[in-house]
Structure formats: structure tokens, C-alpha cells
Chain A
Amino acid sequence: MSFPMNSVDNVTVAKSPAEVADRIRSVFGQGAVLEVRERKAGKDDTVGHHDIWAKVERDRFLDFVDTLAEFDFPQFHIISGNDDGGVVTLYYHFTLFQVAGRRNRIGVAVAVPVDKKDLVMPSLFSRIPGVEYSERETREMFGVDFDGLPNKALVFLPEEWDESIKPWRRDEAGPSANDVRELS
């Protein structure tokens, strides 16, 4: 169960969302899949695609991505997330079966809680180089360090930004009232 590092291709025959969800449950436990959502479209409310919402601990996160890669090379969208008090919850959004034909795409959103006392995540860069900007952004906005990311420079904030202020944090690391300006 390892990630395809040398060969990269998208599969053209899709598996069903139930199959993917079952595989995730069998490796990571029954509670790993929170929900399989159907999105409908059109006049007759036909199913457009499915989204799987999952949850995994940080230490098994790379195994999770490797499990997804058993089905198809995961296409990466974005890392979203929130400051939830004692943890920073990161949501990774992937897509499977993007070239497998009409209505066959499966979106996978996996929540990874990261404890604030140990704000480190393993980087996906060696597997999917396309995560570079997202990981740099999560680093500058939340303060989560990515182990294995080669370029850790600021990506959206200006050069002279005070790096102790993390804009999306809601605790004392976040911007104070003095850091936020009202233009009018």
C-alpha cells in the first residue's frame, strides 16, 4: 500500500462510492467515514456526483492518502480548516476518478485535527507537488508547520508581515483589533 511515485495516471473506470467508503472503513475503522453525500442536478434531480466526508488522525494521514491512491491518483483541490479552540482542524479536499466519465467523480474531504501543542503535519509534497501553495498558505495563516515541504516562504502575505500574527487563528496568535483596519 504505497503511493505511486514514479508512474502517474488517472484511471478511466470508476469504482462506486460505497466501495471506496468500505475500503476506508476497513483500514481506518467504522468511524472514519462520517457521511457519503449525493449532489443532485437537473430537472429531474438526477445524481450529479458523490462526496465522501471522512476523518482520520494525523499519524495515519499519509496512510489515508496512500489508500486513496489505490483507486486513482488523487487530484488535490485545497486545504481548508478552522481554529477550533485546542486543535486546528484541517480539511484536505481530493477528487478521485476525474477522467472516468460522466457522473463518476468522487470527492473526498478528510478532516485531520492537529493539536495546538504540536502544530506539525506531514507534507504531501513528495507525493503531490501541487500542494505547495496550499501548505505554504496553511503555514502562514494557521501556523501549522509542514514536515518535508522544501519551500516554506510566505506566499500571500507581504514580506514585511510580522510572522507571529497568524490571520486565521482565533486565539492570541490571531490578529488583534489594532492589526485590522477599517477603510471607511
Chain B
Amino acid sequence: MLKLEKYLEILPKSLWVTTCNSGSCNGCDIEIVATISPRYDIERLGMKLVGTPRHADVLIVTGPVTKFMKEKLLRIYNQMPDPKAVVVVGNCGASGDVFYKSYNLEGPVDRIIPVDVFVHGCPPRPEAIIEGVAKAVLKLERLRGDLQKAGEGQ
């Protein structure tokens, strides 16, 4: 049995994921869409792609952040309710990859918002994206457990 599915036994509700393209070439975004597609099918593991950050648990960010998108990325991050996790998919969000020197880039992503998981690759395979999101789930569950304990302690 995949280690992945063991993580998901502890989920109390299905995970809602939202994406934000902060200036990428769309390669990683297509691989994210392929992850929803029938062959890789992240939905069987209980994850759903939603359009609005207000309902989401996990934010997937792609791309080195352009100046235009910096404010919007921050706004999207702040609209998400706690506990939340951020996954950066692709090399350009992690380090800039080939876009390492420019007059219009504010990246990498962890310079703008705190990041929990980096999925490397250009673009990473859908299997790698699923693994990355599963690791974010683990972290999320820990955060949720902490929040609950803090609430009970009052």
C-alpha cells in the first residue's frame, strides 16, 4: 500500500486546493490539471480543486513572482483561512530556474509568502505533485491539531 494513502486515513474532511499562477509558463499548471485528470486522479484521494481561496486549505503556487502578481499573491494568501499550507510547484517558484536574473521578477515565492512544501521539477510529474500535496496534508493536520489544542486550553 502506498505510504500516501496512510496519511489520508486521518483526514476529517476532504482537502480543498486552490492554485495561483504568479507568472509561470503554464507547464506546471497543465501538469496540475493532468493531476485531476482520470489517469492520475487526485480526486480519488479526496482533494478538490476550488476557484476561490476563501474555501481552500492548500494553495499551490507556480512561477517566479512577477511584479504585477506580487500584490495579488499576497492577497490570495491572506484570504485563506487558517490552518493553511502552501505548496510551490516547479523550479521557478523555488529558485527562479532559468529566470534567474530579470528586471520584472520579485521571486522566489518564499520571499513573498511562507512556503511549506517545494515540489521540484520543470515541470514535476503529476506523481510528484501528488506526493507534494500529501506532505502538505501532513503539515496541515499537525497545524489543525495544534489549533484545536489551543482552543481547548482556553
Direct contact of A and B (CB under 8 A): yes
List, in ascending order, chain B residues with CB within 8 A of A181's CB: 101-103, 105-106
27 contacts between A and B (CB under 8 A): A157-B104, A158-B66, A158-B67, A158-B104, A159-B68, A165-B103, A175-B103, A179-B103, A180-B103, A181-B101, A181-B102, A181-B105, A181-B106, A182-B100, A182-B101, A183-B64, A183-B95, A183-B100, A183-B101, A183-B102, A183-B105, A183-B107, A183-B108, A184-B95, A184-B96, A184-B100, A184-B108
Give B38-70 as 1s and 0s: 1 = Cβ < 8 Å from A's Cβ atoms: 000000000000000000000000001011100
User: From A161, which residue of chain B is reached at the shortest CB distance?
Assistant: B67
List, in ascending order, chain B residues with CB within 8 A of A167's CB: 103
Give A101-132 as 1s and 0s: 1 = Cβ < 8 Å from B's Cβ atoms: 00000000000000000000000000000000
Q: Smallest CB–CB gap between A153 and chain B, Å?
A: 14
Task: Assess whether B7 is interfacial by the CB under 8 Å rule.
Answer: no
Q: How far is the CA of A158 from the CA of B108 in the complex (A)?
A: 18
User: From A174, which residue of chain B is reached at the shortest CB distance?
Assistant: B103
Q: Which 4 pairs from chain A and chain B are nearest by CB?
A: A183-B96, A184-B95, A158-B68, A158-B67
List, in ascending order, chain A residues with CB within 8 A of B105's CB: 181, 183
List, in ascending order, chain A residues with CB within 8 A of B106's CB: 181
Q: Smallest CB–CB gap between A29 and chain B, Å?
A: 40
List, in ascending order, chain A residues with CB within 8 A of B104's CB: 157-158
List, in ascending order, chain A residues with CB within 8 A of B66's CB: 158
List, in ascending order, chain B residues with CB within 8 A of A157's CB: 104
Q: How far is the CA of A180 from the CA of B66 in the complex (A)?
A: 13
Give B122-147 as 1s and 0s: 1 = Cβ < 8 Å from A's Cβ atoms: 00000000000000000000000000
Most buried by A among B99, B101, B103, B108: B103
Q: How far is the CA of A165 from the CA of B108 in the complex (A)?
A: 23
Q: How far is the CA of A158 from the CA of B71 in the complex (A)?
A: 11
Q: Which B residues from 80 to 100 make CB contacts under 8 A with A?
A: 95-96, 99-100
List, in ascending order, chain A residues with CB within 8 A of B96's CB: 183-184
Q: How far is the CA of A179 from the CA of B104 in the complex (A)?
A: 9
Task: Assess whether A160 is interfacial by the CB under 8 Å rule.
Answer: yes
> Does B101 contact A180, Cβ atoms closer than 8 Å?
yes
List, in ascending order, chain A residues with CB within 8 A of B68's CB: 158-159
Q: How far is the CA of A159 from the CA of B71 in the complex (A)?
A: 12
List, in ascending order, chain B residues with CB within 8 A of A160's CB: 67
Q: How far is the CA of A78 from the CA of B4 in the complex (A)?
A: 50
Q: How far is the CA of A165 from the CA of B66 in the complex (A)?
A: 17
Q: How far is the CA of A175 from the CA of B101 in the complex (A)?
A: 12
Most buried by A among B67, B104, B105, B106: B104
